Chains A and B, each alone.
Chain A
Amino acid sequence: MNPRLTALTAKRILQQFRRDRRTIGLLMLVPMLLLTLLWWMFGDTPDPSTGQPLFDPLGAKIMGLFPMILMFIITSVSTLRERTSGTMERLMASPVRRGDVVMGYAVAFGLVAVVQGTLLVLYSVYVLQLDIQGSTPALVLIIVMDALLGTALGLAASSLARTEFQAVQMMPAVILPQLLIAGLFMPRDAMPRALELISNALPMSYSIDAINHLLAGDTGAIWAEVGILAAFIVGALLLGVLTLRRRTG
């Protein structure tokens, strides 16, 4: 990898992204709107065990999923476009390394993810009055990592897709299983043992585990999960690099 080429590529991707005002708006607003719906449903419903609004635990746990899904789709479609339009072939014949392309996307969309995740958490905490016991910056960290994970998984998954339809279909294939068994609907240790083992292999599980620490007011306990999430992000990026082909058939 070459930091100069990575930075140039990230800058180019952000230049392109900047032109698409509607996507930027949707990317920032849709997670907030979705969380508002949840607040509307559960804002006044008390949790039978704690007496706190049900919105607090539900909102905190589900929040990371929205940026993850949106970033996944944006990233997988943009890289696929690059492959089908011939610009990737051109890049692969240039001095750019495969790692520069993948890191260029990771850095560019990572910056977008930071803005998106931060806005979402601030909106939830200060406007919707989402109440977690743990620290708000820690919540921002986890939500931003979820968004980064979406970007990294999108980069890895897009190499399996040949068309834009396939790229979009990768989202339900990769993300929805995590929604179902990562501990959102049922604590992971209450699930059948086999499912629990499968959920151990899904990154979203660790995001929800970390949120559970925050909900219990135990901010200091999140670092193991943060580390595992980081490892998943790095792993998915590596996969993205390894599956990018300089030569094609």
Chain B
Amino acid sequence: MNAPQAEPPAILVEHLRVVRGGKEILPDLSLAVPRGSVVGLLGPSGAGKSTLMRAIVGAQIVAGGGVTVLGHDAGTAPLRDRVGYVTQAPSIYPDLTVRENVAYFAGLVGAPKDQVAHTINAVGLADQTDQLAGTLSGGQLTRASLAAALVGHPEVLILDEPTVGLDPALRNELWKLFRRFADQGTTLIVSSHVMDEAVRCDRLVFLRDGHVLADGTLEEILAQTGAADAEQAFLTLASKEGAA
């Protein structure tokens, strides 16, 4: 792993500074995400998870620093069919069916046609294939939105709270799906404000008030804090920081 010729990280964030609505949301954030891993971006609501993800896909105006993805500046043309992005609010067309939505996004990244049905099955929406997206339940809509990003088999997947509001069985299914993608070499960043999803990830990044509290494997973070689980570790780190 520490060989000098190690692959460059999938995502490199260096001294990223983001200002939104006059407020400094990310003051100075640096982060490296290794390839082929599932990284959990964990932190309470308002920590800046979505803002960081928007910067990684190149949707966010940044005030300083930079983000490099697969060796290219974030959001530039060579990345656009290699990076998949699922926004926090499900964003597909309510007046198209699930199939039409997924087929459109598949077409945009040049994915083979047979991937459309395959991906819809993979997210468990086979029975809703021809249903209008606007009539889906909340959890189904989330999965349809996810399918639209998965269908191109991107090398990097940025998923903003993809499991929020899903029942435990479905969450389990989706995490297995994310794992399959990672096993095929995809790098995934999955955000969540639910700390118990930490055990699903290869690495964790704890985010609070726009900066990184911890960055490492769950074992490392637990050892470092002496905590029993991710939630406790987060609280320990947060209070330590508050005291400093």
Q: Is the CB of B108 within 8 A of A96?
A: yes
Neighbouring B residues of A246 by C-beta, 8 Å: 58-59, 75
Closest to B22 in A: A249
Which residues 57-116 of B have a CB within 8 angstroms of A? Answer: 57-61, 75, 77, 80-81, 83, 85, 87, 89-96, 100, 104-105, 107-110
Q: Is the CB of B59 within 8 A of A92?
A: yes
Closest to B92 in A: A87
Q: Is the CB of A8 within 8 A of B108?
A: yes
Q: Is the CB of B132 within 8 A of A19?
A: yes
Interface check A169, CB cutoff 8 A: no
Interface check B242, CB cutoff 8 A: no
Is the interface on chain B under 10, 10 to 19, 20 to 34, or 35 or more residues? 20 to 34
Closest approach, in angstroms, between the C-beta of B210 and any C-beta of chain A?
Answer: 15
Interface check A89, CB cutoff 8 A: yes
Please measure, in the bound complex, the distance between the C-alpha atom of A20 and the C-alpha atom of B54, giving whole angstroms: 32
Please tell me which one of the listed residues B20, B59, B61, B104 contacts residue A93 in the complex, with CB atoms under 8 A apart.
Answer: B59
Q: Is the CB of A12 within 8 A of B96?
A: yes
Q: Is the CB of B87 within 8 A of A16?
A: no
Please tell me which one of the listed residues A12, A86, A247, A249 contacts residue B75 in the complex, with CB atoms under 8 A apart.
Answer: A247
Q: Is the CB of A87 within 8 A of B93?
A: yes
Q: Is the CB of B95 within 8 A of A16?
A: yes
Is the interface on chain A under 10, 10 to 19, 20 to 34, or 35 or more residues? 20 to 34
Please measure, in the bound complex, the distance between the C-alpha atom of A10 and the C-alpha atom of B118, giving whole angstroms: 25
Please measure, in the bound complex, the distance between the C-alpha atom of A90 and the C-alpha atom of B152, giving whole angstroms: 13
Q: Is the CB of A249 within 8 A of B96?
A: no
Q: Is the CB of B108 within 8 A of A94?
A: yes
Interface check A45, CB cutoff 8 A: no
* Contact A247/B58 with A86-B89, A94-B105, A94-B108 known, Cβ cut-off 8 Å: yes
Neighbouring A residues of B132 by C-beta, 8 Å: 19
Q: Is the CB of A93 within 8 A of B96?
A: no
Interface check A248, CB cutoff 8 A: yes
Q: Is the CB of A94 within 8 A of B61?
A: no
Please measure, in the bound complex, the distance between the C-alpha atom of A176 and the C-alpha atom of B221, giving whole angstroms: 64
Which residues 108-164 of B have a CB within 8 angstroms of A? Answer: 108-110, 132, 148-149
Q: Is the CB of A247 within 8 A of B61?
A: yes
* Contact A247/B59 with A8-B107, A90-B85, A94-B80 known, Cβ cut-off 8 Å: yes
Which residues 6-45 of A have a CB within 8 angstroms of B? Answer: 8, 12, 15-16, 19-20
Interface check A85, CB cutoff 8 A: yes
Please measure, in the bound complex, the distance between the C-alpha atom of A92 and the C-alpha atom of B91, giving whole angstroms: 13
Please measure, in the bound complex, the distance between the C-alpha atom of A20 and the C-alpha atom of B93, giving whole angstroms: 13
Q: Is the CB of B104 within 8 A of A90?
A: no
Please tell me which one of the listed residues A16, A20, A87, A89 contacts residue B59 in the complex, with CB atoms under 8 A apart.
Answer: A89
Closest to B81 in A: A95
Interface string of A159-193 (1 = CB under 8 A from B): 00000000000000000000000000000000000
Please measure, in the bound complex, the distance between the C-alpha atom of A87 and the C-alpha atom of B104, giving whole angstroms: 12
Interface check A5, CB cutoff 8 A: yes
Q: Is the CB of B96 within 8 A of A16?
A: yes
Q: Is the CB of B87 within 8 A of A90?
A: yes
Q: Is the CB of B58 within 8 A of A93?
A: yes
Interface check B21, CB cutoff 8 A: yes
* Contact A248/B21 with A86-B87, A94-B81, A94-B108 known, Cβ cut-off 8 Å: no
Neighbouring A residues of B75 by C-beta, 8 Å: 93, 246-247
Closest approach, in angstroms, between the C-beta of A238 and any C-beta of chain B?
Answer: 20
Q: Is the CB of B61 within 8 A of A90?
A: no
Closest approach, in angstroms, between the C-beta of A13 and any C-beta of chain B?
Answer: 9
Q: Provide 26 A-B residue pairs closer than 8 Å at the C-beta atoms, listed in order of the A residue.
A: A8-B104, A12-B96, A12-B104, A15-B96, A15-B100, A16-B95, A16-B96, A89-B59, A90-B91, A92-B59, A93-B58, A93-B59, A94-B105, A94-B109, A95-B77, A95-B80, A95-B109, A246-B75, A247-B58, A247-B59, A247-B61, A247-B75, A248-B59, A249-B21, A249-B60, A249-B61
A→B interface (CB under 8 Å): 4-5, 8, 12, 15-16, 19-20, 85-87, 89-96, 246-249
Closest 3 CB pairs of A and B: A86-B91, A95-B80, A93-B57
B→A interface (CB under 8 Å): 19-21, 54, 57-61, 75, 77, 80-81, 83, 85, 87, 89-96, 100, 104-105, 107-110, 132, 148-149
Given contacts A8-B108, A90-B85, 4 further A-B contacts (CB under 8 A): A12-B100, A89-B91, A95-B80, A247-B75
